[in-house]
Amino acid sequence: MRLLIVFLVFVHCNLFAQPVSDYFKDVRAVYVLEASPPVVESAVRVLFPKMKSDAVRSVEKCTLQGEGTLTIGVVDSNSGEGPFSSQNGDDDSFFIRLTAENGAIVAASDASLLYTAACRLAQQWQSREASYFRKGRHFFPSFKWLEGADGFFAARKFFSRGYNPEENVREMARIGCTHIGVNALATPFAYEQGPPGEHYYRFYITNPDLDQFVETELNKETYPPEYLAANMNRMQKNIELAEKHGLAAGLNLCSPRSVPESFFQKYPQLRGARIDHPFHSYKPRYTMTLAHPAVRWHYAEMMKKIMQRFPQLSWAYIWSNDSGSGFEHTMTTYPGRNGGAFLVREWRTNEQIAEKAGMNILRYLKGLRDAARRSRPDFDVILRLFSFPAAEDYILKHLEEGIDLRLFLSDRSDNEKWTKFAVAREKGSDFSYTNSISMPYSHVAGVPFPWQTQKRLQEMLDLGIERLTLSLHPFSLAPYDINREVLGGFQFHPQQSVDSLVLETAKRWVGEKEAEPLVAAWKLVDKTVETFPSVPLYAGYGFVSFRLWVRPLVPDIEKIPQEKRAYYEKFMLSNYYNPNLVDLSKNALWTLVPQETAEKIVEQYRLDGYDDLKQAISLLECDDIDNNDRVKAVFTDQRDRLKALLCYHRSLENTCKWIVGVHGYMQAETKEVKNRHAEMIRDMMRDEIDNCRELKTLYTSSSVPFTPISAIGENWYTYGENLDQLLQKKIDLMKAHMEDEPFIEDDFMWNLPATFNVSPEIYLNY
């Protein structure tokens, strides 16, 4: 049965013609229904921030308590009380009714909708006439499941400078998010470590598995008790923040994850699949074998322990075959299909192996679900299906209620795939989708593109998508993010014109006079976001993990002495033989950006140019603005983010120019062609030097947090407070190597450490 949260407020008749902001002024007392969830108090504080504690009283039934009172509580949505009845069906909503005669009702059929209802009344709808709500209005969310992920709250960037977790959870609840992941490490880095010089341990800070929080008899003393206790404490604080704002808390897990080798010294027969990326790791990592009942008991027991401590948790999302995790005998584990001794024997066909692997996965998921449901009967386990193409049909065939799927948006628009998924839905499996709408620039926070945001949301709604996970920039880094406002508006008013919403927001932030240039700037940036090309991997997390803002773009990277390259190489996701260290088009065993792709990207940048972006920046200059601190703050915030976006795009463009120029020079058969590419490289270098100078000036002079900066020191996923110093190092090295001849060592991948005394010229002949 759903819970129903209800506000009942009596207001004087002569106030009914007043705006909503005046409607609640005469409330003298708040009556709280017994056993109300924490979000009730939060919502009351939004509506009545100055309400004294002695004005709050307890009540058994959620009924009107007289003139000038607010009654708030949780009731059965099928009880017939309040505005919800069977005719509303099973769709969750919130309801608002403001009448002069009988008072007011603000009700929500789920806790996740209460806080956003209060925020809309207290903030966005203050100027509306109360008569708009005289007959009562239901507000249904466009997306029933809207998980907000800001990349910080339950992730590694939590330790970024200026990040405020409560501020960001509050913002997610305000705009209409319903779910949030809460499991995260209490430390900046995981307990997992590797041999000297290896960087694979860096992947273990994402979506920590159950064994990072609790232990069983099987793995006891594998991790220090202080480590487990700290992680549990962090999760408890996260859950408390989620509950305070009405969000449904869940787990995002890379599972099953590898365990330390010390475990297999005790139980060698329980070694499962090797899951590490052989090119990036120096030692193999293995999961426990899920084909053994003792291991399945171990995972179920861990889930049971966590749920006994936190019965509020309602879901677990399993992301596997990545970041240190993987299932046995699936074809997408990085080392290839492999596993322990208990699942597959020799001479099996691919189809037989795929079926066994699929059934093994499902058995594991059901074990987690059933263990969790001892504490919470409606707990769901969600699987990211794309990792198991060979086993996909077997998994779909045997899905059942409580085992759900997370898909890509392309799966919903693929009729053949969707027909196959529909069979699973008939068995009670629901689908959710993942997409980055408001955060395509993960390292330039708060870039405004409201029309594109609305367009993408509408496309998903048109596809019939009801459950969605979205990436959002945190309020701490982007307090004036128009994309979030569009998302919040679309969640309950998809029919509203994006033009009107954008204009309303601009007026609310900067007033009538300055709204026009602000909206004009947003429109120019929106056009830029739509047309600028995306550079594979570098445009996403690779922008920082491959250090594009601080590594020198020089003709021959190896001409820079090793000790002078160390400042950026030690934080890259590249071991010493990764060709990416000397060739920006490569990474590991694959071509990251082919020369032909780079040429097309360079041409697209040339055609699109930066005129729109520069014009938007000029519109946001504050010289002509009256002495209004709030308006100047908004304009400065938006302007400096766009300056950072310009620097970001120029670095991406110059990275592609490096690929075109250096590879073109080496392939050229005539001196004329070589000279043309050499001059292209020098032009690129001059532009990148200017770009870095502008970025350095922006970083040192602006108070706007346009990019995440680590509070604990530089690391592979975030720049540190020394960003300006690293930019100067890059500038100096590029100036010193301007005239070097372009060159890439083709056999770089086969190099061995300097301790190996045989020259590559000798062993490369073999």
Q: What is the pLDDT of residues 248-297, one digit of tens each?
A: 999 999 999 999 999 999 999 999 999 999 999 999 999 999 999 999 99
117-143: pLDDT as tens digits: 999 999 989 888 888 988 888 899 999
Is the predicted pLDDT of residue 63 greater than 80, yes or no? no
Diameter over CA atoms, the chain: 95
Is the predicted pLDDT of residue 82 greater than 70, yes or no? no
Mean pLDDT of 231-259: 97
In a domain, 229, yes or no: yes
User: Are the beta carbons of 510 and 622 closer than 8 angstroms?
Assistant: no
Query: In which domain, by residue range, is 218 found?
Result: 145-509
| Residue 232 and residue 321 share a domain | yes
User: Are the beta carbons of 75 and 81 closer than 8 angstroms?
Assistant: yes
Most confident among 149-153, 441-445, 648-652, 757-761 (mean pLDDT): 648-652
| Residue 84 and residue 224 share a domain | no
Q: 217-220: long-range contacts (C-beta < 8 A, 24 or more apart)?
A: 218/267, 218/294, 218/295, 218/297, 218/298, 219/259, 219/263, 219/298
**Residue 198's closest CA among 287, 286, 288, 278?**
278
**Residue 467's closest CA among 426, 435, 498?**
435
In a domain, 52, yes or no: yes
Residues 187, 191, 193, 199: is their CA dihedral positive or negative?
A: negative
| pLDDT confidence of residue 3 | 42
Distance (Å, whole) CA 168 – CA 473: 9
**Residue 190's closest CA among 751, 661, 716, 638?**
716
| pLDDT confidence of residue 19 | 86
| pLDDT confidence of residue 408 | 82
| Residue 428 and residue 400 share a domain | yes
In a domain, 521, yes or no: no
pLDDT tier at 328 (50, 70, 90 boundaries)?
A: very high
Mean pLDDT of 688-698: 98
Residues whose CB is less than 8 angstroms from the CB of residue 63 and which lie 6 or more positions away in sequence, other chains included: 8, 71
Distance (Å, whole) CA 185 – CA 199: 18
Q: What tokens does 743 get?
A: 């060159």
| pLDDT confidence of residue 53 | 73
User: Are the beta carbons of 122 and 446 closer than 8 angstroms?
Assistant: no
Among the three residues 478, 509, 540, which one is the final residue of a domain in this structure? 509
637-646: pLDDT as tens digits: 999 999 999 9
Distance (Å, whole) CA 694 – CA 687: 11
In a domain, 68, yes or no: yes
Mean pLDDT of 21-27: 78
Q: What tokens does 591 get?
A: 């071509």
Residue 702 β-bridge partners: none
- Is the link from the previous residue into 256 a cis peptide, with omega within 30 of 0? yes
Is the predicted pLDDT of residue 244 greater than 60, yes or no? yes
User: Are the beta carbons of 492 and 142 closer than 8 angstroms?
Assistant: yes
| Residue 149 and residue 223 share a domain | yes
R_g of the chain computed on alpha carbons: 28
| Residue 206 and residue 221 share a domain | yes
| pLDDT confidence of residue 81 | 64
CB burial readout 654-674, b (16+ within 10 A) else e: bbbbbbbbbbbbeebeeeeeb
Q: What tokens does 306 get?
A: 């966590």
| Residue 504 and residue 411 share a domain | yes
The mean-pLDDT minimum among 218-222, 437-441, 513-517 falls in: 437-441
Higher pLDDT, 370 or 53: 370
Distance (Å, whole) CA 309 – CA 313: 10
Residue type, 153: F
Average pLDDT, rounded, for the chain: 90
| pLDDT confidence of residue 109 | 87
Backbone angles phi, psi at 11, to 5 degrees: -130, 145
Mean pLDDT of 366-386: 95
**Residue 557's closest CA among 679, 659, 683, 668?**
659
DSSP state of 746: T
In a domain, 755, yes or no: no
The total of other beta-carbon atoms located within 10 Å of residue 113's CB is 26
| Residue 424 and residue 568 share a domain | no
Is the predicted pLDDT of residue 434 greater than 90, yes or no? no
Mean pLDDT of 426-438: 76
Higher pLDDT, 706 or 79: 706
163-209: pLDDT as tens digits: 999 999 999 999 999 999 999 999 998 998 889 889 999 889 999 99
Residue type, 457: L
Residues above pLDDT 90, as percent of the chain? 68
The mean-pLDDT minimum among 420-434, 539-553, 603-617, 737-751 falls in: 420-434
| Residue 125 and residue 28 share a domain | yes
**Residue 578's closest CA among 567, 596, 592, 564?**
592
Is the predicted pLDDT of residue 436 greater than 70, yes or no? no
Higher pLDDT, 151 or 674: 674
| Residue 158 and residue 86 share a domain | no
Strand spans (E) along 275-331: 286-288, 315-319
| pLDDT confidence of residue 126 | 85
| pLDDT confidence of residue 359 | 96
683-692: pLDDT as tens digits: 999 999 999 9
| pLDDT confidence of residue 95 | 85
Distance (Å, whole) CA 650 – CA 656: 10
| pLDDT confidence of residue 2 | 46
Angle between helices 225-244 and 165-175 (to 10 degrees): 40
| pLDDT confidence of residue 92 | 87
Q: How crowded is the C-beta side of 90, counted as CA atoms within 13 Å?
A: 2
Query: By three-state DSSP, how is residue 84 classified?
Result: coil
In a domain, 327, yes or no: yes
Mean pLDDT of 455-473: 90
pLDDT tier at 8 (50, 70, 90 boundaries)?
A: very low
| pLDDT confidence of residue 89 | 58
pLDDT tier at 79 (50, 70, 90 boundaries)?
A: low
The mean-pLDDT minimum among 21-35, 364-378, 490-504 falls in: 21-35
| Residue 149 and residue 47 share a domain | no
The structural domain count of the chain equals: 3
Among the three residues 442, 477, 509, which one is the final residue of a domain in this structure? 509
Residues 545, 550, 556, 562: is their CA dihedral positive or negative?
A: negative
588-626: pLDDT as tens digits: 889 999 999 999 999 999 999 999 999 999 999 987 676
Distance (Å, whole) CA 466 – CA 90: 14
Residues 323, 327, 330, 336: is their CA dihedral positive or negative?
A: positive
Continuous segment of H or E residues that includes residue 636: helix 629-667
Is the predicted pLDDT of residue 22 greater than 60, yes or no? yes
Continuous segment of H or E residues that includes residue 406: strand 403-408
Among the three residues 509, 540, 574, which one is the final residue of a domain in this structure? 509
Distance (Å, whole) CA 717 – CA 736: 28
The mean-pLDDT minimum among 242-251, 256-265, 342-351 falls in: 342-351
Q: What tokens does 133 get?
A: 């709500």
User: Are the beta carbons of 579 and 478 closer than 8 angstroms?
Assistant: no
CB burial readout 250-287, b (16+ within 10 A) else e: bbbbbbbbbbbeebeeebeebbbbbbbbebbbeeebbb
pLDDT tier at 62 (50, 70, 90 boundaries)?
A: low
The mean-pLDDT minimum among 195-204, 299-308, 663-672, 722-731 falls in: 195-204
Alpha-carbon separation of residue 134 from 104, 131, 379, 571 (angstroms): 9, 5, 38, 60
Distance (Å, whole) CA 319 – CA 329: 16
| pLDDT confidence of residue 155 | 86
| Residue 199 and residue 107 share a domain | no
Residues whose CB is less than 8 angstroms from the CB of residue 568 and which lie 6 or more positions away in sequence, other chains included: 547, 550, 551, 726, 730
Please state the three-class secondary structure of 408-472 as a single string.
EHHHHHCHHHHHHHHHHHHCCCCEEEEECCCCCCCCCCCCCCHHHHHHHHHHHHHCCCCEEEEEC
Q: What is the CATH number of the domain that holds 228?
A: 3.20.20.80
In a domain, 525, yes or no: no
Query: Distance from CA of residue 291 to its chain's centroid?
Result: 32
| pLDDT confidence of residue 622 | 80
In a domain, 760, yes or no: no
Mean pLDDT of 572-591: 93
Strand spans (E) along 19-122: 29-33, 56-59, 69-76, 94-99, 103-108
Continuous segment of H or E residues that includes residue 687: helix 671-701
Query: By three-state DSSP, how is residue 144 classified?
Result: coil
Residues above pLDDT 70, as percent of the chain? 93
Residue type, 738: M
Q: Are strands 56-59 and 29-33 parallel, antiparallel or unpaired?
A: parallel
| Residue 420 and residue 358 share a domain | yes
Mean pLDDT of 726-745: 98
